[in-house]
Amino acid sequence: MALPNEKFEEIKLKIQKFVDNEMVVHEEDFNVNLKFADHLEFLEEKRNLVREMGLFAPQISKEHGGLGLSLHQLGQIYEILGKTFYGLYVFNCQAPDAGNMEILIEHGSDYQKETFLNPLVEGKIRSCFSMTEPEFAGSNPVIMGTTAVKDGSNYVINGHKWFTSSADGADFAIVMVITDPENENPYMRASQIIVPTKTEGFKFIRNISVMGDEGDGWNAHAEIIYDNCIVPEKNLLGPLGAGFKIAQDRLGPGRIHHCMRWIGECEKAFDMMCQRAASRELSPGKPLAMKQTIQNWIAESRAEINASRLMVLDAAKKIDKEGAYAAKVEISTIKFYVAQVLQNVLDRAVQVHGALGMTDDTPLASLYRHERSARIYDGADEVHKSRVAKEIMKQYLK
C-alpha cells in the first residue's frame, strides 16, 4: 500500500536534505578506500540520526518497522541514496540485508522472524546471501553442488560458495542448497536455509579481491566452505524445495533497487563530468565544455539517464499493480539497459577528468571498479536480453 503522495513527497524531501547535509558534504569522512571498521563510528552516528527521524529501513512495511512505501516510491528513495557510497547502509536498506529482510517477512517462521529478522531490521546485525558457486554457472541457478542432507532434526550442509556478499562480519547467511536432487522438477530441488556464521563448519576463506579491491564488512564478497555444517530443521526458510521461488521473489523487486541506485550513481558522475567540463581549460578561456565531443557525451548521458529512470519507475509501477511475474520482461529490460547506461556515464566521466579520473582523488575510479560487475550479477546482461527476445518472439512464432 503506497503512502499518500503528499506524505511521500515530505519524506522524500527529508531524505534528500539529510543526504545533502549529512553525507555528501562529508564524503571524505567515509572514503571508500578505508576499511569498513574505520567508518563504523561515523556511520553509526548517521544511522542514529536516521532512526530519530523515523526513516530507518524505508523498504520495510509499517508492520515490521519500516515506512510502508510502494516499490515505485521506494525506487525514488534509492536513487537519492545511491548518490553516496554508504547512503543505503545508513538507512539500513543495503543489499543483501534488504533482500533478506523481505524474504524473511514473506517466508520466515515466527522463530526466524524473532531471531533473525527483527535485529536485522533494527540494524543490530548484518547478514549475507550465499548462492553463487565457482564450479557452476551462476546464470543457471537450478544447477549447484552445495547440498543439505537431513539427519534427524538437523540438516548437514556441505559445499563451496563464493561471492557471498557481506559475509565478513555478518551474523547469519541465507544459503541456497540442494535438498532434493532427484526431484523431476529442477526448480524444486533447492531450498534456502539460515546458517548462523558462528556455526561449526561455516568456514570463511577470504574476501575476494574484485578489480584490485579486496573489500571488507558490508562492501565485501566472500568465499565460504560449508564443511559438515549442522543446523536445526527449524532454520529451513519456507517450504522444502522452495529455494528457487524464494530467490525469484527477492530478485524482481531487487532489480528495481539496484537500477535506481545505479541511476543515483549516474547523476553523481554526470554532475562531476559537467563541473569538470566547465572548469578545465585546454587554453585560456576555452573550457572542455566548448568541445563538440564533450557536448555529445553530456547530451547522450542526460538522455540515457532520463530514459533509464522512466523505464525503471514504469517497471516498478507494474510490479506494484500486477506482481513481479507479470513484469518479467520489464524487469529484464531495465536490468541490462541501466547496467549499460551506468557503464557509459561512468566511462565518459572518467574520460572527461583525464588522468585525474584514473586516480582515487575522486570517487569515479572506485565507482568504475565496483560497478563493472553490474552487467554480471543478478543475471548476466546477455541472459536478460535472451529472455526479453524470447518473450517478444512468442507472439510472432505462433
| 67 contacts 60 by C-beta, under 8 angstroms | yes
Instruction: Give the per-residue pLDDT at 24.
Output: 85
What domains can you pick out in the chain, each with its CATH number? 5-121 (1.10.540.10), 127-237 (2.40.110.10), 245-397 (1.20.140.10)
One-letter amino acid identity for 356? L
So what's the pLDDT on residue 11?
Answer: 96
| 3 state SS of 163 | strand
Residue 13, helix vs strand vs coil:
helix
Distance CA 152, CA 167 (A): 28
3-state secondary structure of 185: coil
Residue 160 pairs in a beta bridge with 225
* Whether this model's pTM surpasses 0.95: no
Confidence at residue 343, expressed as pLDDT on a 0 to 100 scale: 97
* Grid cell in block for residue 390: 524470447
- CA distance linking residue 209 with residue 106, whole number of Å: 34
Q: Give the amino acid at 203.
A: K
The grid coordinates of residue 182 equal 532427484
Helix (DSSP H) and strand (DSSP E) numbers for the chain:
13, 11
| Residue that is written with C-alpha cell 524482481 in the block | 252
Non-local CB neighbours of 365 within 8 Å, separated by 6+ positions: 350, 357, 358, 359
User: Looking at 297-367, which runs of residues are DSSP E strands?
Assistant: none
Q: How many C-alpha atoms does 25 have within 13 Å on its Cβ side?
A: 8
- Please tell me the predicted confidence (pLDDT) of residue 27: 74
- Cell reading at 328: 518479467
Rounded to an integer, what distance in angstroms lies between the CA atom of residue 95 and that of residue 258?
Answer: 9
Mean pLDDT by 10 residues, the chain (398 residues): 85 96 77 70 93 95 91 96 92 94 96 97 96 87 92 98 95 97 94 98 95 82 97 97 90 90 96 97 92 98 98 96 93 97 98 95 90 91 96 93
Burial of 113 (0-12, 13-18, 19+ CB in 10 A): middle
Between CA 267 and CA 254 the distance in angstroms is 20
Nearest CA to 73 out of 153, 5, 143 is that of 5
**Contact at 8 Å (CB) between 260 and 319?**
no
Say which residue the cell 552516528 belongs to. Answer: 45
